[in-house]
A and B are shown apart, each in its own frame.
Chain A
Amino acid sequence: MGNNSNAAMRPETQFEIRDLDLFYDKFQALHHVDMDILKNRVTALIGPSGCGKSTFIRTLNRMNDLIPIVKITGSVKFDGTDIFGRDCDVIALRKKVGMVFQKPNPFPKTVYENIVYGPRIHGEKNKRKLDELVEMSLKQVALWDEVKDRLHKPALGLSGGQQQRLCIARCLAVEPEVILMDEPTSALDPVATLKIEELMSSLRERYTIVIVTHNMQQAGRISDFTSFFLNGEVIETDHTDAIFSNPSNSKTEEYITGRFG
């Protein structure tokens, strides 16, 4: 496992997306998306509102299944298995590909119950293990010290930033390989945003992270790769440095320099 974090080696591909088209009924939201998302790297998706980046990230763990009018063609392979294939178990997929949403969405339960919800569903019954898992997950998101005395209080009583970190901890407790983050800081104040960004840096070692963000500085600060979306198409994908310093497509440059969007 350790060798994956070695930057010298060419990392494995986690997601292999080929010719992905997505329709909301008749409206085509994604056009021929081709992309490789690498293991144990942070990939940022940027682009103006409505460009399809949220739609895209929700495709990766099939959250779009919730919307009945969505139709998808093309292929998305996770670890080599087509996630739209017949033999794909969407539950196993989502267990491995966790997600953090734009607005913090803790369940109306206690802090503790929020964290153990996932593991319990996946069959963990041992009380001591669950306790350990709660502590570990909360420590990973640096929330443990803040909430250890109120584990059995409602999670909705936490502040927005704490709630979002709780949601990340909840996601980690299931031990995923990938974390999808859909504008995780857009509903938070700058201090809370900073904390989440620090958290992401600490997580990048062990997880593949895909993040949608409106904030280009954020993309620049935290990601290894950046992909620019426009009108449902991927304009270009490259190392973050390259995208920001020397974009090959003029539209990317226009967006990055703030000419539109």
Chain B
Amino acid sequence: MKASISEKRGRRSIRETAIERILFLAGITATISVALITIFIFGSGIPALLDSGFVNFLVGTNWSPANGSYGTLPLTAGTMAVTLTALVLGIPTGIACAVFLSEILHRKAARVFKFAIELLAGIPSVVYGFFGLIVVVPAVRTYILPLVRLWDPDAHTTGLSILSGAIILAVMILPTIVSLSENAISSVPAEYREASLALGANKRQTITGVLIPAARSGILASIILGMGRAIGETMAILLITGNVAVLPKSLLDPVATLTGTIAMEMSYASASHQQALFAVGIILFIIIMLLNAVAQGVSKRMGVNQ
């Protein structure tokens, strides 16, 4: 009559164990995927790396698959140039928007503004690409080029350039930077703010002297994430940077990027060329991994700070 608590493993506990196993499987799906991705990308690309020689592949300055020459330095340089320029444009704008959202705008208006920014994140990148090609590229040629010519009369550009790509990329990474920085700034404890104001600092001094420094880890994390997005962006960049695999000398020069080169040449590539593109994928992959490691480091430090 009295059910003991020492029942032996019932159906229920078998079910529990089974469920836990299933959940664990789900939990490692992402890890397995990353492993598979790594294996397939490296597996397909390593032969090309060995063929051209690792160093040649990395620092060779001539990317000309038709002539069997695979030097990826121009591509890496292109990706970096576009990404860094985008960050130069995007970081101040992003932080300004974050400050505007969390400290200046009223809550209701801020919600509308935030919605608008999130919308930027939702627009398909192809749309950005065509917008860039039709609007930004001519604008750089017609408005920026004459300005540059004041200094350097020989300057020349078609508009397809690092600058055009960076402008579009900056817009594309804004949502990441704004929303994460805004979170970081709003989560600075109210006491800091009050303490600063109580000391007679005005709002501007409080923002630049207390809030932004206190939120710096979060802001940094948002920048790193934004950078990851910028490096990985493909379809938009493809259309607006000109895809010229030559080391750029100025912001108005066209460049080829790692992602753009893969996307554009993959479909036509012959066997060895295809391997080389997978090897370009390896470089991209390693850059992203390094960035990830940095991000992990930052978020760890963030944990310590708080």
Chains A and B in contact, CB within 8 Å = yes
Binding site for B on A (CB under 8 A): 78-79, 81, 83, 85, 87-89, 91-93, 96
Assembly CA distance A87 to B7 (angstroms): 7
Of B8-16, B173-181, B185-193, B236-244, the one contacting chain A is B8-16
Which residue among A78, A91, A93 has the maximum number of chain B CB atoms within 10 Å of its CB?
A91
Interface positions of B from 10 to 27, Cβ below 8 Å from A: 10, 12-13
Assembly CA distance A233 to B156 (angstroms): 84
CB-nearest residue of chain B relative to A91? Answer: B12
Question: Would you call B3 an interface residue if the criterion is a C-beta within 8 Å of the partner chain's C-beta atoms?
Answer: yes
From residue B14, how far is it (CB to closest CB) to chain A in Å?
12
| B6 pairs with A81, CB closer than 8 A | yes
Assembly CA distance A230 to B4 (angstroms): 33
From residue B16, how far is it (CB to closest CB) to chain A in Å?
9
Question: Would you call B28 an interface residue if the criterion is a C-beta within 8 Å of the partner chain's C-beta atoms?
Answer: no
> Closest 3 interchain pairs by CB?
A92-B5, A87-B6, A93-B5
From residue B294, how far is it (CB to closest CB) to chain A in Å?
30
Q: Classify the secondary structure of B's interface with A.
A: loop
From residue B56, how far is it (CB to closest CB) to chain A in Å?
51
| A81 pairs with B4, CB closer than 8 A | yes
Assembly CA distance A103 to B131 (angstroms): 57
Could you say which of A85, A88, A89, A93 contacts B10, with CB atoms under 8 Å apart? A89
CB-nearest residue of chain B relative to A97? Answer: B5
- For B5, the chain A residues whose CB sits under 8 A away are 78-79, 81, 83, 88-89, 92-93, 96
From residue A208, how far is it (CB to closest CB) to chain B in Å?
14
| A88 pairs with B6, CB closer than 8 A | yes
- For A96, the chain B residues whose CB sits under 8 A away are 5
Which residue among B4, B7, B9, B10 has the maximum number of chain A CB atoms within 10 Å of its CB?
B4
- For A93, the chain B residues whose CB sits under 8 A away are 5
Binding site for A on B (CB under 8 A): 3-10, 12-13
Assembly CA distance A89 to B4 (angstroms): 9
Assembly CA distance A118 to B13 (angstroms): 17
9 additional A-B pairs beyond A89-B9, A89-B13, beta carbons within 8 Å, are: A78-B5, A79-B4, A79-B5, A83-B5, A88-B6, A89-B8, A92-B6, A93-B5, A96-B5
Assembly CA distance A91 to B11 (angstroms): 12
Which residue among A78, A79, A92, A93 has the maximum number of chain B CB atoms within 10 Å of its CB?
A92
From residue A46, how far is it (CB to closest CB) to chain B in Å?
28
CB-nearest residue of chain A relative to B12? Answer: A91
From residue B243, how far is it (CB to closest CB) to chain A in Å?
53
A-B contact pairs, 10 of them (CB 8 A): A81-B5, A83-B5, A88-B5, A88-B6, A89-B8, A89-B9, A91-B13, A92-B4, A92-B6, A92-B7
- For A85, the chain B residues whose CB sits under 8 A away are 6
- For B4, the chain A residues whose CB sits under 8 A away are 79, 81, 92
From residue B258, how far is it (CB to closest CB) to chain A in Å?
43
Assembly CA distance A87 to B9 (angstroms): 8
- For A79, the chain B residues whose CB sits under 8 A away are 4-5
From residue A250, how far is it (CB to closest CB) to chain B in Å?
39
CB-nearest residue of chain A relative to B3? Answer: A92
Which residue among B5, B9, B10, B13 has the maximum number of chain A CB atoms within 10 Å of its CB?
B5
Assembly CA distance A93 to B12 (angstroms): 14
Assembly CA distance A201 to B172 (angstroms): 67
Assembly CA distance A83 to B10 (angstroms): 17
Assembly CA distance A83 to B7 (angstroms): 12
Assembly CA distance A96 to B4 (angstroms): 9
- For B7, the chain A residues whose CB sits under 8 A away are 89, 92
- For B13, the chain A residues whose CB sits under 8 A away are 89, 91
Assembly CA distance A70 to B12 (angstroms): 25
Assembly CA distance A180 to B136 (angstroms): 70
Assembly CA distance A96 to B9 (angstroms): 17
Assembly CA distance A78 to B5 (angstroms): 8
Assembly CA distance A78 to B6 (angstroms): 10
- For A87, the chain B residues whose CB sits under 8 A away are 6, 8
Assembly CA distance A96 to B6 (angstroms): 12
CB-nearest residue of chain A relative to B9? Answer: A89
- For B12, the chain A residues whose CB sits under 8 A away are 91
CB-nearest residue of chain B relative to A78? Answer: B5
From residue A74, how far is it (CB to closest CB) to chain B in Å?
18
CB-nearest residue of chain A relative to B8? Answer: A87
From residue B1, how far is it (CB to closest CB) to chain A in Å?
10
Assembly CA distance A77 to B9 (angstroms): 19
- For A78, the chain B residues whose CB sits under 8 A away are 5
Assembly CA distance A85 to B8 (angstroms): 12
Assembly CA distance A171 to B286 (angstroms): 56
From residue A145, how far is it (CB to closest CB) to chain B in Å?
33
Which residue among B8, B12, B13 has the maximum number of chain A CB atoms within 10 Å of its CB?
B12
Assembly CA distance A229 to B6 (angstroms): 30
CB-nearest residue of chain B relative to A82? Answer: B6
Assembly CA distance A89 to B10 (angstroms): 9
From residue B4, how far is it (CB to closest CB) to chain A in Å?
7
CB-nearest residue of chain B relative to A86? Answer: B6
From residue B183, how far is it (CB to closest CB) to chain A in Å?
26
From residue B17, how far is it (CB to closest CB) to chain A in Å?
13
From residue B87, how far is it (CB to closest CB) to chain A in Å?
41
